Amino acid sequence: MSEHPVYDVLIIGSGAAGLSLALRLADRMKVAVLSKVKLSEGNTLYAQGGICAVLDAKDSLESHIQDTLTAGAGLCDPEVVRLVVCEAKECISWLLERGVPFTEERDNQGHRQLHLTREGGHSHRRVVHAADATGRAVEISLEKHARQHPGIELFEYHNVVDLITAKKLGYPAQRVLGAYVLDIRQQKVKTFRARIVAVATGGASKVYLYTSNPDVATGDGIAFAWRAGARVANMEFIQFHPTCLYHPDARSFLISEAVRGEGGKLLLPDGSAFMHKFDSRAELAPRDIVARAIDHEIKRLGIDYVYLDITHRPAEFIRSHFPTIYQRCLKLNIDMTRQPIPVVPAAHYTCGGVLTDSNARTDIAGLYAVGEVACTGLHGANRMASNSLLECLVFAKQAAEDILKSLPMVPMPPALPAWDESKVSDSDEEVVVSHNWDELRRFMWDYVGIVRSNKRLQRAMRRIDLLKAEITEYYGHFRVTSDLLELRNLAIVAELIIRSATQRKESRGLHYTLDYPQTDDSRPPTNTILEP
Ligand SMILES: Cc1cc2nc3c(=O)[nH]c(=O)nc-3n(C[C@H](O)[C@H](O)[C@H](O)COP(=O)(O)OP(=O)(O)OC[C@H]3O[C@@H](n4cnc5c(N)ncnc54)[C@H](O)[C@@H]3O)c2cc1C
């Protein structure tokens, strides 16, 4: 039986979503935060562009709402969009109170104000940022507060294996009770008990060969919430960022949308621009259109990359607006003030995820999902740039308010059985895991990437069935490792993406298929909701 203390709230994930939820709760209750590796690692740390909020007098909430709905291609939940847009200002103030060093400028009267930048899909400048490393500034500030807070216990290098639910233990009413967690450094599976569990594990873009995401983004929360019985929605909508740096020595380095926002042009190897042929907004068209255009040109010309050129802006402007990108490129001998940057598209953002209501509640009593792991209805079929950090912050606030209200009614979880390792041994063939990792990510890239077709999806499904059988067998016989847990989760996420993509018989937002290239406007659009 478990010897662990009971937490009021167990938060799985320490990005913008997990840490802001923890900080909003910890004055009033006992909170544990788990992170798979070190606390700061996750998508949040790498976010460059910024966070949307209507702060300019010429901008309006209605305009931000409209831009978000337009990007979402008919599938956003308008009430959720309004909620998020209206809460943005409060969330930015909350971050400022926690010392996030957002970039400022002087207005005409010499007063300091937040500098706002512009990104694709936005009709106004409304992106609050900390130079070109906004996520880092947010994450480091929140981490500092979390480490100092006496109400928060932090567990780094703790990888959740599975949620523990009442039904799994044979109780009639479904409710989350805790989680089995692999302590990576001790190589031991521990049992965590909690009255409420919040999944804030981020996205799943590591399911693809090329991605802007760090290694932790393996969709674990989507997979273990699904295994526990929660519905998952809109997994076919994977956003491919159009401009990742193409360089043999640079893995997953993103060239921010803001470079195009500040005038950067996409060019073919002969120096000619092409975006105007695909969309009247050219470089400022939404990401899916830009990514597909680049993919089209790369395949048409048989080239590996295109160029992003901002050399027409003054060198000082480039260095001060994009210090991180400038330095990173310079280290690879690319001086972006004088040379165009080679770029390719890469998997970037998971629009779908665990289905939640506007308080971040999932189908399972006591289980919340916050941040990129969730499907809240904000993004619909396509996420607008810089709406995702905002979603993390707003839904952390919503979840916190709901938890503060409901906790007094939540029962104490019963004693939980310890993890059983009596029937497994150490693996003697780790190569099986690494081989399957590579194979899965490659066929997802080839068959379920930017452009899909029925045939490609069927091919991918056949492979996933085989892989799942092998993984289940392996999981049943050997002690769990982080690599095995991630592979098991990636296989589920891949299957959910393929199933969702197969169900959608049209092209909409981020989902594009050669068999149904048009958007089906003959009936109201629907979400793709998968039941476990
Ligand atoms: C390169 C890049 C640039 C971006 N730029 C922007 C931008 O400018 N603006 C914007 O709004 N969005 C941007 N995004 C998207 C945005 O960063 C993410 O959507 C957001 O940070 C997600 O935050 P999160 O808290 O949900 O997850 P993350 O920040 O990814 O955190 C996930 C956490 O979950 C933990 N975790 C995962 N699995 C487990 C497990 N099994 N057990 C225990 N812990 C686990 C991880 O360790 C980590 O702590 C960008 C993303 C990338 C990759």
What's the pLDDT score for residue 2? 43
CB 322 within 8 A of CB 336: yes
Q: Number of H helices and number of E strands within the chain?
A: 14, 20
The separation between CA 516 and the C-alpha centre of its own chain, rounded to angstroms, equals 27
What's the pLDDT score for residue 454? 97
Q: Helix axis angle, 482-503 relative to 454-477, nearest 10°?
A: 150
Q: How far apart are CA 170 and CA 515, in angstroms?
A: 45
Segments making up each domain of the chain, as ranges? 7-236+351-409, 241-346, 431-512
**Amino acid residing at 145:** H
pLDDT tens for residues 261-316? 899 999 999 999 999 999 999 999 878 889 989 988 987 898 889 999 999 999 99
Letter string b/e over residues 350-368, b meaning 16 or more CB atoms within 10 A of that residue's CB: bbbbbbbebbbbbbbebbb
Q: How far apart are CA 231 and CA 246, in angstroms?
A: 37
| Topology agreement, domain 7-236+351-409 and domain 431-512 | no
The yes/no answer on whether domain 7-236+351-409 falls in CATH 3.90.1150.10 is no
Q: Angle CA(99)–CA(217)–CA(157) in degrees, nearest 5? A: 75
What's the pLDDT score for residue 119? 82
CB 448 within 8 A of CB 457: yes
The arrangement of strands across the sheet holding 127-128 comes to: 51-52, 127-128, 116-117
**Amino acid residing at 497:** I
Count the neighbouring beta carbons within 10 Å of the beta carbon of residue 429: 10
388, 392, 484, 492, best to mutate for ligand 1 pocket (most atoms within 8 Å of CB): 388
Residue 216: which of 226, 207, 208, 206 has the closest Cα?
Answer: 206
CA of 145 to the centre of ligand 1 (A): 18
Chain position carrying tokens 């409060």: 90
- Options 3.40.50.720, 3.90.700.10, 3.10.200.10, 1.10.10.10; CATH for 241-346 is 3.90.700.10
Q: Kindly provide the residue ranges of all beta strands, DSSP E only, lying in 168-298, ordered along the sequence.
A: 176-183, 188-199, 232-233, 238-245, 265-267
Q: How far apart are CA 444 and CA 204, in angstroms?
A: 12
The β-bridge relationship of strands 529-530 and 158-165 is unpaired
Atom number, ligand 1, closest to the C-alpha of residue 159: 42
Atom number, ligand 1, closest to the C-alpha of residue 13: 34
> CA-CA distances (angstroms) from residue 185 to 157, 182, 430?
7, 9, 18
- Tokens encoding 424: 């497994």
What's the pLDDT score for residue 3? 57
Count the neighbouring beta carbons within 10 Å of the beta carbon of residue 302: 6
H or E element, residue 51: strand 51-52
Q: What are phi and psi of 311, to 5 degrees?
A: -65, -15
What's the pLDDT score for residue 1? 45
Atom number, ligand 1, closest to the C-alpha of residue 134: 8
CB 267 within 8 A of CB 309: yes
User: What pLDDT tens digit does each residue of the chain (532 aa) get?
Assistant: 445 689 999 999 999 999 999 999 999 999 999 999 999 999 999 998 899 999 999 999 999 999 999 999 999 999 999 999 999 999 999 999 999 999 999 988 889 999 999 887 899 999 999 998 999 999 999 999 999 999 999 999 999 999 999 999 999 899 999 999 999 999 999 999 999 999 999 999 999 988 999 999 999 999 999 999 999 999 999 999 999 999 887 777 889 888 998 999 999 999 999 999 999 999 998 788 899 899 889 878 988 899 999 999 999 999 999 999 999 999 999 999 999 999 999 999 999 999 999 999 999 999 999 999 999 999 999 999 899 999 999 999 999 999 999 999 999 999 999 998 888 888 777 888 889 999 999 899 889 999 999 999 999 999 999 999 999 998 988 899 999 999 999 999 999 999 999 999 999 999 999 999 999 999 999 999 999 9
- Tokens encoding 224: 């273990």
> CA-CA distances (angstroms) from residue 105 to 85, 116, 130, 160, 186?
23, 9, 12, 43, 48
Q: Taking the complete model, does pTM exceed 0.85, yes or no? A: yes
CB 195 within 8 A of CB 182: no
> CA-CA distances (angstroms) from residue 38 to 130, 135, 524?
22, 16, 44
Count the neighbouring beta carbons within 10 Å of the beta carbon of residue 411: 9
Q: Which fold has domain 431-512?
A: Methane Monooxygenase Hydroxylase; Chain G, domain 1 (1.20.58)
CA of 439 to the centre of ligand 1 (A): 24
Residue nearest to atom 6 of ligand 1 (CA): 47
Q: Angle CA(409)–CA(412)–CA(417) in degrees, nearest 5? A: 150
DSSP single-letter state for residue 349: E
The β-bridge relationship of strands 353-355 and 374-375 is parallel
Residue nearest to atom 37 of ligand 1 (CA): 201
CB 200 within 8 A of CB 53: no
Residue 49: which of 332, 322, 351, 373 has the closest Cα?
Answer: 322
Residue nearest to atom 2 of ligand 1 (CA): 47
Q: Angle CA(161)–CA(166)–CA(167) in degrees, nearest 5? A: 95
3-class state of residue 267 by DSSP: strand
CA of 142 to the centre of ligand 1 (A): 14
Which residues are the active-site residues?
287
CA of 133 to the centre of ligand 1 (A): 14
**Amino acid residing at 166:** A
12, 21, 44, 379, best to mutate for ligand 1 pocket (most atoms within 8 Å of CB): 44
CA of 107 to the centre of ligand 1 (A): 33
Atom number, ligand 1, closest to the C-alpha of residue 19: 25
3-state helix vs strand vs coil in the chain, percent to 5? 35, 20, 45
